[in-house]
Chains A and B, each alone.
Chain A
Amino acid sequence: GAVVSQHPSWVICKSGTSVKIECRSLDFQATTMFWYRQFPKQSLMLMATSNEGSKATYEQGVEKDKFLINHASLTLSTLTVTSAHPEDSSFYICSASGDRGYEQYFGPGTRLTVT
C-alpha cells in the first residue's frame, strides 16, 4: 500500500513558540491531505482538509490562525501550530488520498507536548 510519513514523530516545545509538522506521501501524489487531532483513548477529530495549491478548509471550531496548513506540492503538507500552549498538546495525524478519494492513507502521527 501507499506510504505516508510524518516528521517529527514527537516534539516538545515551550509555550509561546511555534512548531511545524510535515506530512509526506512517499510513493503517490496526494491531491488531498487531511489533518486530525487525537486525545488519548479518544477518536480522531478532523481539523482541516487541504488540496494541493489551494487554501485549507477548516472544520468548525478550529482556529485557522493558530493551526496553519500549507499544501505546497502533491507530496507535502505542513501543519504549523503557532504560539503553542499546553492545551495544544495532543497527537496529530495526517492522511492523504490520491485520485481515489475513498482510499486514504495515514501517517504514523506526531506527539506534541507543550511545556
Chain B
Amino acid sequence: AQTVTQSQPEMSVQEAETVTLSCTYDTSESNYYLFWYKQPPSRQMILVIRQEAYKQQNATENRFSVNFQKAAKSFSLKISDSQLGDTAMYFCAFLFGGGTSYGKLTFGQGTILTVHP
C-alpha cells in the first residue's frame, strides 16, 4: 500500500516571500502520479500541480513549482512570491497509474499554510 507523509502540520510565511512544503511517499510502483492540492477556507479542493513519475523535469505552474526526487521519494512544493490568497491547507497526494487501485488518491495529512501581510 502507498503512504504519503507531510511532516509539517502548520507553516507560516510573510507575503511576497518563498515557502517550501515537504512531502514524502512510499511505494514500490514505478508508474504513478503525484499532486499538490489546495483547500482554502471554502473547503473546495483545488489542484495546484501534477507530476508524472516518468517525467524527470519538475512541474511548474506560475508561482508554484515542485522538487521531485524519485529515488528519495520526495515531492516538495515551493510557493514563490506568497500571496494572502495562498492561505489554505495543502495536501500532497499519490495516485497509482495502474491496476485495481487506478484512480484512487492517497492523501497526506495536510499542511496548514498561513500567509501574513
- A101 touches B (CB below 8 Å): yes
| Majority secondary structure of chain A interface residues (helix, strand, loop or mixed) | strand
- B112 touches A (CB below 8 Å): yes
In the complex, how many residues of chain B place their beta carbon closer than 8 angstroms to a beta carbon of chain A?
21
Which chain A residues lie closer than 8 Å to B95 at the CB level? 101-102, 104
Are A109 and B103 in contact (CB-based, < 8 A)?
A: no
Please provide the chain A residues from 57 to 90 with a CB less than 8 Å away from any CB of chain B in the complex: none
Contact digits for B24-47, partner A, Cβ 8 Å, 1 yes 0 no: 000000000100000000111111
Determine how close the nearest CB of chain B comes to the CB of A42; give it in whole angstroms: 7
- Supply 14 further A-B pairs (C-beta < 8 A) apart from A34-B105, A43-B91, A49-B104: A34-B104, A41-B89, A41-B112, A43-B108, A43-B109, A44-B105, A46-B105, A49-B103, A95-B105, A101-B95, A101-B102, A101-B103, A102-B97, A108-B44
Chain B contacts to A: CB under 8 angstroms: 33, 42-47, 50, 89, 91, 95, 97, 102-105, 107-110, 112
Chain A contacts to B: CB under 8 angstroms: 1, 32, 34, 38, 41-44, 46, 49, 91, 93, 95, 97, 101-102, 104, 106, 108-109
